[in-house]
Amino acid sequence: MSAGIDATHDPALRSWVPSANEAGSDFPIQNLPFGRFRLGGQPWRIGVAIGDQVLDLRLALEARALPDGLGQALAPLAAGNLNAFMELGPAVRTPLRRALSGALAAGSEAQARLAACLVPQAQVELGLPCTIGDYTDFYVGIHHATAVGRLFRPDHPLLPNYPWVPIAYHGRASTILPSGQAIVRPWGQRRAPEAEAPELRPTARLDFELEMGIVIGGANALGEAVPIERAGQQVFGLTLFNDWSARDVQAWEYQPLGPFLSKNFASTMSPWVVTVEALAPFRRALSRPAGHPQPLPYLHCEADAAGGAFDVQLEVWLSTERMRAQGLGAHCISRSNFADAAYWTVAQMVAHHTVGGCALRAGDLFGSGTLSGPRPEQAGSLLELSQGGKRPIELPGGEQRSFLQDGDEITLRGLCERPGAARIGFGACTARVLPAAPR
């Protein structure tokens, strides 16, 4: 078997949970992502998604339904602490994945005990999968960087540092929201092109950004640089991530220090973390444009160059208030792929983030930056799709959009599939836009 691929990835594997075997399920037995859920006002618990169910890991521990010797892994999960479990690293989570796979597989002797530990996903509230510590938003989407740069610098869309530095800024962790929670249109300073002074108003250019979230699982000591050869081991898994943006506020405030109020009002994160172990069959070589320079040595190793990219197909769906009133379903406005869009790998992000001595902790989150594809219709933001608002996109029912209006709902979806592997998905990352609050 290839590196990282074992019996848990076998596409012939089936579960005794019927919905996990249905075609198109995001959560077959080959996936087993982790998330945080609760019933009513009860405390948050950690579960694993399997089909349309959640396996409650606290109940699984109490039922003694999993093999002995997993106490180190199950104790923090049963306590509702995914961060503490992530800190234990791949040496602990890989055996747990194998045990869960065996226990949930068709014919398992654990079925009778584990069946009582399942809760329908439709009956639970899903929250952020872990406690987010620090949040850094990268800018690894080269097609997005090129398209946006071309709006302002037609002759030189990419700045000179782009091929050398995994560019990022420090974001606001306190406003990362779980999928399903609405966002409120933000206020901010914006200045009309013909105006002498700015004004404080709700943004008129609200946008989404199609991103992947990278959840850090391993800590490094302050002052310790994580070498590229083991930087990937610091990552627990991936989620979907929508980094909402107020483009008119951003245009006024971003020089000289970058985004502030235009980004800090809300970001939406999907509830399930798909582990790097589950993603092992979907890794591929990083592809860079011809003629671009080789990264500096601290950002390059042969193993990462050969398999550091994740082949995740991404989609953006838009539903408007009028579409819902007319009984029209959400409309897909963009499709792209993480591996095709990203200029830097996840491991390179970790290596660069720590090279100056920054200490990462379990639960820290990286945003990838907007993951646009190479073609205009593959853009991961309305800023690109509408060419800065000049060419609105057409929607079913006769509407147009340059930027988001109140009542609009954005859903991100992601899936991985290839011949010889079971299809796995990320669930939905959804939020609806509410009107601005009074000021």
Known catalytic residues? 144
Strand partners, 45: 37
Full 3-state SS string of 105-129: ECCCCCHHHHHHHEEEHHHCEECCC
One-letter-per-residue 3-state SS of the chain:
CCCCCCHHHCCCCCECCHHHHCCCCCCCCCCCCEEEEECCCCCCEEEEEECCEEEEHHHHHHCCCCCCCCHHHHHHHHCCCHHHHHHCCHHHHHHHHHHHHHHHECCCCCHHHHHHHEEEHHHCEECCCCCCCCEEEECCEHHHHHHHHHHHCCCCCCCCCCCCCCCEEECCHHHEEECCCCEECCEEEECCCCCCCCEEEECCCEECCEEEEEEECCCCCCCCCCCHHHHHHHEEEEEEEECCEEHHHHHHHCCCCCCCCCCCCCEEECCEEEECCCCHHHEECCCCCCCCCCCCHHHCCHHHHHHCEECCEEEEEEECHHHHHCCCCCEEEEEEEHHHHECCCHHHHHHHHHHCCCCCCCCCEEECCCCCCCCHHHCCCHHHHCCCCCCCEECCCCCEECCECCCCEEEEEEEECCCCCCCEEEEEEEEEEECCCCC
From residue 271, how far is each of 246, 368, 429 by CA, in Å? Answer: 24, 17, 8
Cα 22 from Cα 10, distance rounded (Å): 16
d(CA 295, CA 275): 27
Please give the distance of CA 233 from its chain centroid, rounded to a whole number. Answer: 18
